[in-house]
Structure 1
Amino acid sequence: MPWDESPCPYCGGRVINVSNAVIYNGHTFGNGRCYLCVNCRASCGVHGNPATRRPLGVLATPEMKFFKQSCHKKFDSVWRNNKLSRNQCYKQLAKLMGICPKCCHFGWFNQPDLELANAILSDESWYKR
């Protein structure tokens, strides 16, 4: 569901579909579009090139974005260094988090999920457990 049909889940503000240059200091990334809460500035990118209106995940607050970046840095280093495939990494993380592998995606995690994932990924041997 496009976010611009719902209020922001954090502050109730209006969510609009805009150029992502508004959150990246005038520079666009990816397909150049995102959803943005005009009040609290939570945001989320969109799928596609050209851009669609389908969100990449949930709206993320600045704190959530910090955790997503931290998680991805730790997670991506495992599959990029051929320790496991990317799919195997998601399956292992899902197992350790106690969630369904199909639900295991940083873009769809809420704050508690991100904190748990970050704690798990902080163990350098998380993928071996």
Structure 2
Amino acid sequence: MKRKIKQPEVKCPYCGRMAVLRDASYVYKENALDKYLYICSGYPECDAYVGVHAGSLRPKGSLANGDLRHKRIETHRLFDAIWKNGIFSRKEAYRWMQDTFSLNSSQAHIGQFSDYRCDCLMNECRKVLQNNHVRTA
């Protein structure tokens, strides 16, 4: 007998409405990369949504509007450059992030970060990349 996966309750931090689980094509049409998204029930007036981990109903982070989604993508690009350029292993890079910002492993996810925390991590990533002679665009 299969167990039904319990869908978490996700609330929009911008307008307070509940998010609904929808097929990603609802937002991205035929360009959908994720299978599902949690989308604010006020969409499109409230432009907040977040992807879902493959094979689960677990959100990849917190709902974010367009500005924060873009900032999280940029933050991940800089952070990933640290391990992709061999400065740290991926595991070591996440440990560095935890140590730098006094986070535990459940808090060290860019998908949970605020605008401010993204700015802080991007600044620290730039320092590490520059100290290791890796160009940032």
TM-score by length of 2: 0.76
Mapping of residues 85-96 of structure 1, within 5 Å: 85-96=89-100
Distance 2:73 2:121 in 1: 12
Kindly indicate whether residue 47 of structure 2 is the aligned counterpart of residue 7 of structure 1: no
Out of 64, 77, 82, the residue aligned to residue 78 of structure 1 is 82
Aligned pairs, number: 123
Aligned residue for 2:88, secondary structure, equals coil
Gaps of 5+ in 1: none
- Residue number in structure 2 paired with 1:33: 36
| 4+ residue segments displaced more than 4 Å | none
- Residue number in structure 1 paired with 2:52: 46
Classify 1:118/1:110 alpha carbon distance in 2 versus 1 (closer, same or farther; 3 Å): same
Identity of aligned residues (%): 24
User: Is the 2:38–2:63 contact (alpha carbons within 8 Å) kept by the matching residues of 1?
Assistant: yes
Gaps of 5+ in 2: 1-5, 133-137
Distance 2:95 2:131 in 1: 12
Classify 1:79/1:15 alpha carbon distance in 2 versus 1 (closer, same or farther; 3 Å): same
User: Is the 2:79–2:122 contact (alpha carbons within 8 Å) kept by the matching residues of 1?
Assistant: no
Classify 1:25/1:85 alpha carbon distance in 2 versus 1 (closer, same or farther; 3 Å): same
TM-score by length of 1: 0.80
User: Is the 1:17–1:35 contact (alpha carbons within 8 Å) kept by the matching residues of 2?
Assistant: yes
| Root mean square deviation of aligned Cα | 2.3
Q: Which amino acid aligns with 1:35?
A: Y
